[in-house]
Amino acid sequence: MKGWLIVNNFVKSKKFDEIYELLSSAARSEGILLETVKTGELPHSVNALKDIVKTVDFALFWDKDVILAKQLEACGLRLFNNAEAIEKCDNKALTAVCLEKAGVETPETYASPLTFEGVEICDFGFAEACAKKLGYPMVVKEVNGSFGKQVYLAEDFEKLKAIIKSIGHKGFVMQKFISESRGRDIRVNVVGGRVICAMLRESRDGDFRSNVTLGGSAKAYKVSPEQKEIAVKACRALGLDFAGVDVLFGEGGKPLICEVNSNPHFKSTLEATGIDLAGLIMKHIKKKVSAKAGRREL
């Protein structure tokens, strides 16, 4: 069995390289030939890709280049995760639409109206209306962002306007602040519709965000049946083969989905729990691809 590990053409980071090596090592253990391919090394054209994709059985798509992902799928290549799932997870507004439609509990969320580059936001009536429903403080998130770096807290209307102005033409969501979960959440790791492990993430410096990248701590955590159920339900709603699901502690301990990551950075999970998600992801892929090959033979 042969596949591609597709990674971003421009990101150069030891942090990402460690993940790629874990996945490549896990593939070797499963007898899979996994070639790392940068997005810039593939032609972004369906016609140009048609013959190239015939050389592999699948692609582990560890990037957010949705156009390339859709082009590969148009050529018949099976992606893990699939293009639609990646697109939904990469855009927090789309994530909210899918989860709300499926009845998955999340903090109350409102998406920003569309604007364009060079068009200044000069009317904040929509934000004021949302604030009346959400209250303060309010969480504001750019629709595209990772590691908590594009997430802000607005304590009042003036701060909210300043945040919106700083975001500019990019889309964002406004979300109810869950005070019970301030500075802490659970990263629940799901593979093949099954919860594998989880870790509790907590801020060390009073930050309302709990991300390990921002300095938070992480330790193994035993999830409740309710937390397991909502994490799996979120993955099902988004069509994911695997994911890192961020779960908040709602009022009375009620779990709420914060975000869902289609290509989670699982090195911290390995350090906190000792569980190698790379191996489980590759086992899942091998099982799915082998089953599809068997059906073709029939």
Q: What is the set of domains in the chain, with CATH numbers?
A: 2-80 (3.40.50.2300), 87-104+180-280 (3.30.470.20), 109-177 (3.30.1490.20)
What's the half-sphere exposure (Cβ side, CA atoms, 13 Å) at 119? 9
pLDDT tens-digit series, residues 212-227: 565 567 899 999 999 9
Give tens-digit pLDDT for 75-130: 999 999 999 999 999 999 999 999 999 999 999 999 999 999 999 898 999 999 99
List pLDDT tens digits, range 161-207: 999 999 999 999 999 999 999 889 999 999 999 999 999 998 866 66
Question: What's the pLDDT at 298?
Answer: 40
Look at phi and psi of residue 135 and say left if phi exceeds 0, alpha if psi is from -120 to 50, else beta: left
Cross-strand pairs, 219: 200
pTM given for the model: 0.91
The answer to whether the CB of 269 falls within 8 A of the CB of 197 is yes
Higher pLDDT, 207 or 152: 152
> Predicted confidence band at 209 (pLDDT cuts at 50, 70, 90)?
low
User: H helices of the chain, where?
Assistant: 14-29, 46-49, 66-74, 83-90, 92-101, 125-134, 157-167, 225-238, 267-273, 277-297
| 252 pLDDT tier (thresholds 50, 70, 90) | confident
